[in-house]
């Protein structure tokens, strides 16, 4: 699934630009625990989270996450956004709650790292 | 092509959450630049980051030594801090003494040390209560890897 589709499905806003809207996202994961993100041997390329501190960006960087979606209208501060931009990690924010955001993406065919939902 | 030892030393500041992860980011950049396999790089970066975060979360300050040896990578993270009274207990999944402020940032699940073990070939921890902790990690480089230098 390409980034522009994800942005549309989640009615999300980009937090820094310009970005490549054709970026291919194959898998997603959702977590509020950075330890969980770090303990997955193969994580997702998109992370959905309710956390907005700069450690989310650092953690994403370590595990090669390409894009992060903050849920419930959350926005990190300017320094955190700048760090993500520097690292080339795309940031989106959606007003949806975590479950709704995940459900929408899954219904449109995006999966987790196992490659299947069922 | 002669084999040389490449090594780097970095400082880690305790409780400096804004800069936490910077050192492991450097380690990751170096490895990427040297052309190591991305999956291998990810595992090393995770181990390094978990060790670095432990200094930030639990100690006052520390250093990270990163060396690329002919067949192994070596990461030594040494800190000045409270030390770990019971290392076997600390190694257990889910054991954590992290305070609320750390948990609120998404850490403190007690998964860092087990995760370091998972991503390394050897993990050696020695600690003196009231003085500090030394974590040494060895990771064998993938045999298929041929680096051009
Ligand atoms: N460098 C250190 N200095 C002092 N205590 C430490 C250090 N590293 C780990 N510990 C102790 O060991 C416990 C377990 O560490 P571990 O990294 O597994 O989990 P955590 O740091 O609490 O949480 P997580 O790593 O999941 O964010 C810590 O809660 C702390 O009590
Ligand atoms: Mg830890």
Ligand 1 geometric centre to CA of B27 (Å): 21
Closest partner residue to A55 (CB to CB) among B46, B50, B106 is: B106
Q: What is the pLDDT of residue A100?
A: 98
Indicate whether A117 belongs to any domain: no
Distance CA B73, CA B83 (A): 25
Give the CATH number, domain containing residue A18. Answer: 3.40.1390.20
Span B75-126, pLDDT tens digits: 999 999 999 999 999 999 999 999 999 999 999 999 999 999 999 999 999 9
Closest partner residue to A35 (CB to CB) among B17, B38, B112 is: B112
**Which residues of chain A have a CB within 8 Å of the CB of B95?**
none
**Which residues of chain B have a CB within 8 Å of the CB of A79?**
18
For ligand 1, mutation pick of B113, B118, B124 (most atoms within 8 Å of CB): B113
Ligand 1 geometric centre to CA of B108 (Å): 7
Q: Which CATH number fits domain B6-148: 3.40.50.10860, 3.50.50.60, 3.30.565.10, 3.40.50.800?
A: 3.30.565.10
Indicate whether A59 belongs to any domain: yes
Q: Please give the biggest Cα pair distance in chain B.
A: 52
Q: Which residue has the tokens 């450097």?
A: B26
Indicate whether A80 belongs to any domain: yes
Name the pTM for this structure.
0.95
In chain B, domain spans: 6-148
Residues contacting B107, CB < 8 A, separation 6+: A34, A35, A55, B53, B57, B98
Does residue B149 have a pLDDT over 50? no
First to last CA, chain A: 18
Q: Is the CB of B57 under 6 A from ligand 1?
A: yes
Q: What is the pLDDT of residue B144?
A: 60
Does residue B5 have a pLDDT over 80? no
Residue A90 structural domain? 3-112
Q: Is the CB of B108 under 6 A from ligand 1?
A: yes
How many domains does the structure of chain A reveal? Answer: 1
pLDDT mean over A22-33:
95
Going by the DSSP 8-state scheme, the letter that residue A98 receives in this structure is H
Residues contacting B9, CB < 8 A, separation 6+: B63, B64, B65, B66
Distance CA B144, CA B37 (A): 10
**What values do phi and psi take at B7, rounded to 5?**
-145, 150
Indicate whether A118 belongs to any domain: no
Going by the DSSP 8-state scheme, the letter that residue B141 receives in this structure is P
Closest partner residue to A58 (CB to CB) among B20, B38, B118 is: B20
Sign for the CA dihedral angle at B63, B124, B94, B27 comes to positive
Ligand 2 geometric centre to CA of B55 (Å): 8
Q: Three-state SS for A62?
A: helix
pLDDT mean over B36-52:
97
Indicate whether A40 belongs to any domain: yes
Q: Which residue has the tokens 């990427």?
A: B32
Give how far Cα A77 sits from Cα of A58, A91, B17, B18, B68, Å: 14, 12, 14, 12, 36
Pairing between β-strand B72-80 and β-strand B132-140 as defined by DSSP bridges: antiparallel
**% pLDDT > 70, chain B:** 93
Q: Are B75 and B48 in contact (CB under 8 A)?
A: yes
Span A49-105, pLDDT tens digits: 999 999 999 999 999 999 999 999 999 999 999 999 999 999 999 999 999 999 999
Distance CA A90, CA A71 (A): 14
Indicate whether A36 belongs to any domain: yes
Q: What is the pLDDT of residue B143?
A: 76
Task: Kindly give the number of the ligand 1 atom that is closest to the alpha carbon of B110.
Answer: 19
Does residue B146 have a pLDDT over 70? no
Between residues 12 and 41 of chain A, which touch chain B (CB distance below 8 Å)? 31-36, 38-39, 41
């Amino acid at each position: 699934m390409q980034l522009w589709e994800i942005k549309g499905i989640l009615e999300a806003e980009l937090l820094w630009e310009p970005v490549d809207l054709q970026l291919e996202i194959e898998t997603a994961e959702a977590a509020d625990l950075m330890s969980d993100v770090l303990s997955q041997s193969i994580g997702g390329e998109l992370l959905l989270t309710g956390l907005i501190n700069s450690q989310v960006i650092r953690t994403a960087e370590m595990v090669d996450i390409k894009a992060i979606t903050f849920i419930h209208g959350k926005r990190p501060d300017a320094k955190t956004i700048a760090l993500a931009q520097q690292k080339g990690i795309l940031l989106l924010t959606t007003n949806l709650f975590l479950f709704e955001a995940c459900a929408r993406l899954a219904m449109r065919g995006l999966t987790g790292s196992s490659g299947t939902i069922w | 092509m002669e084999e040389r030892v490449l090594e780097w030393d970095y400082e880690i500041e305790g409780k400096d959450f804004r800069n936490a992860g910077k050192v492991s980011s450097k380690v990751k950049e170096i490895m990427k630049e040297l052309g190591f396999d991305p999956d291998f790089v990810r595992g090393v970066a995770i181990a390094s980051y978990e060790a670095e975060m432990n200094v930030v979360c639990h100690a006052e300050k520390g250093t990270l030594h990163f060396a690329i040896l002919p067949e192994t990578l070596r990461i030594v993270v040494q800190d000045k801090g409270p030390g770990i009274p019971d290392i076997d207990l600390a190694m257990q999944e889910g054991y954590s003494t992290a305070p609320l402020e750390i948990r609120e940032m998404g850490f403190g699940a007690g998964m860092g040390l087990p995760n370091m073990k998972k991503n390394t070939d050897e993990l050696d921890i020695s600690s003196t209560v009231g003085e500090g902790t030394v974590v040494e990690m060895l990771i064998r480089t993938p045999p298929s890897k041929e680096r051009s230098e």
